[in-house]
Amino acid sequence: MNEKPNGHARRRAAKRAEILTAATEIFFEEGYGRASMDAVLVRTGGSKRTLYKYFHSKDELFAAIVSNVSDRVLAALRPPLEDGDIRETLTTMGERYLGVLLSPEGLALYRNMVAEAPYFPELAETFFSNGPGRASCHLAAFLRDRKARAGLQIEDPQRAAEQFLGMVRGDVHLSAVLEVRRPAKTAVRKAVATAVDIFLVGTAPDVRKG
């Protein structure tokens, strides 16, 4: 039986979470380049010794932020893919996927990763594998199963999954990233519905008829 963490461990976990929360706000507000450990210290209080005991450098703190936010935000990209109607499944997947990308945290994480990927290639690879890559692999598994059972016209399920999610993102996501405009919920639903229509025309004509 696992023992409950003692008071010291709980306090350490709470302090680490406090630092991560404050640092996430600062890094997303200022960007990696302008964010600083001193700014985190001002917001959380305490001593430099305490801060550096949890995170030895700005790079390490940023890596922890990306890992933490990725786990919370990108976990939503893995909806259950039951044996339901393929149109309904793709619509659910698309709307949840785009919803995550357009959330404040999703947009901030994406902007930061694009800006910092050249300097943190290993971190960028981890982000991609645990986020977008995980989403496309999960959808590919569903398409592979449906291809075998329902005769979907798909030569490469992995590529098909990536292309579908790419259609879902489209200009809706790019316009939000660039802060050109924030799409309304109706625009999100329409973008996903259009992507599903196009995808099914090319891969599953029999499902559309049924």
Q: In 32-131, which ranges are continuous DSSP H helix?
A: 37-44, 48-54, 58-73, 86-102, 104-116, 121-130
Q: How far apart are CA 130 and CA 71, in angstroms?
A: 8
Q: How far apart are CA 70 and CA 58, in angstroms?
A: 18
pLDDT in tens, 44-103: 988 899 999 999 999 889 888 888 877 776 676 666 666 668 888 889 889 988 988 898
Q: How far apart are CA 111 and CA 81, in angstroms?
A: 29
Q: Which CATH class, in words, describes the domain spanning 7-56?
A: mainly alpha
- Structural domain spans, the chain: 7-56, 74-209
Domain 74-209 annotated CATH 2.60.40.3880: no
Q: How far apart are CA 11 and CA 73, in angstroms?
A: 25
pLDDT of 207 reads 42
As a whole number, the mean pLDDT across the chain is: 85
Q: How far apart are CA 18 and CA 41, in angstroms?
A: 11
pTM as predicted? 0.76
